[in-house]
Amino acid sequence: MKNLRIFTVLSMFLFAGTFAFGQGDMAKTKMVGGAEMYPSKNIVENAINSKDHTTLVAAVKAADLVEILQSEGPFTVFAPTNAAFEALPAGTVETLLKEENQKKLQSVLTYHVLAGDFKAKDVMMAIKKGNGKATFTTVNGAKISAMLDGDKVKLKDAAGNVATVTIADVNQSNGVIHVIDTVLLPSK
C-alpha cells in the first residue's frame, strides 16, 4: 500500500511537471499576422498561417525555396510583411513572381536569410561590439548592416533602404524569424 501511495504521489508530480512544461512552451509562442507561431513548427509551417506574410509565402513558393526553409537549418529570416511588398514600386512583385525571374526572386529572398540562429540579443550584441553597427553576410552572399535607433533594430540594404524589426524572436524549430517593415534589396 505504501508503494502505491509513493507511486501516486510521484505520478502527480510528473503530471504537474508535464503540465507546467506544456504551459511554458505555450508562453513561448508569438502572434504574427493574427496567428500563433509555434516554436515546434518550422519557418514555412508558421509563415503559412500569418495573414501578414501571404506575399512572402507566395514568393518563397515561386522561388522554389520551400524545401530549403523547411530543412533543419538553423536560419534567421528577416520576414517582410505584405505591406512591405506593397510599398515596392508598382509591378515589382508581379514581375519577380514570373517564372523567368526565379533566379532574381531567389536572390531577393535569400538576401533576407542568415545561416544560423541569430536572436535579437545576438544582433544587438554584434551592434554593440561594432560600435553601433554590425554587418552580416546573407545566404545570398551579399551583406546587410544592422544598427539601433533607440531600442529598435534597423537593417540597411546595399541600396540604402532601411527596415525596422517590428516583431523580434519568433522562434521556429529550425531557427528564428524577425518581422520587418521593408523589403531589403541586394545589389546583385
Would 126 be classed as within a structural domain?
yes
**For 113-152, what is each residue's pLDDT tens digit?**
999 999 999 999 999 999 999 999 999 999 999 999 998 9
Would 5 be classed as within a structural domain?
no
Q: Tell whether pTM > 0.75.
A: yes
Would 132 be classed as within a structural domain?
yes
**CATH classification of the domain holding 35:** 2.30.180.10
Which strands make up the sheet holding 113-115, listed edge to edge?
A: 113-115, 75-80, 175-180, 162-172, 152-156, 143-149, 134-137
Q: Please compute Rg for the chain using Cα positions.
A: 20
**For 14-42, what is each residue's pLDDT tens digit?**
333 333 333 333 348 887 877 788 788 88
What cell numbers appear for 13 in the block? 508530480
**For 37-53, what is each residue's pLDDT tens digit?**
878 888 898 888 889 89
Cell 500569418 maps to which residue? 50
Would 105 be classed as within a structural domain?
yes
- The pLDDT of residue 42: 85
Would 11 be classed as within a structural domain?
no
Would 111 be classed as within a structural domain?
yes
Is the preceding omega at residue 74 within 30 degrees of 0, hence cis?
yes
Number of domains in the chain: 1
Would 106 be classed as within a structural domain?
yes
Would 186 be classed as within a structural domain?
no
88-97, Cβ contacts within 8 angstroms, sequence gap of 24 or more: 88/183, 93/55, 93/59, 96/59, 96/62, 97/58, 97/59, 97/62
- The pLDDT of residue 23: 36
Give the range of the structural domain holding residue 144, as residue numbers without chain letter.
30-180
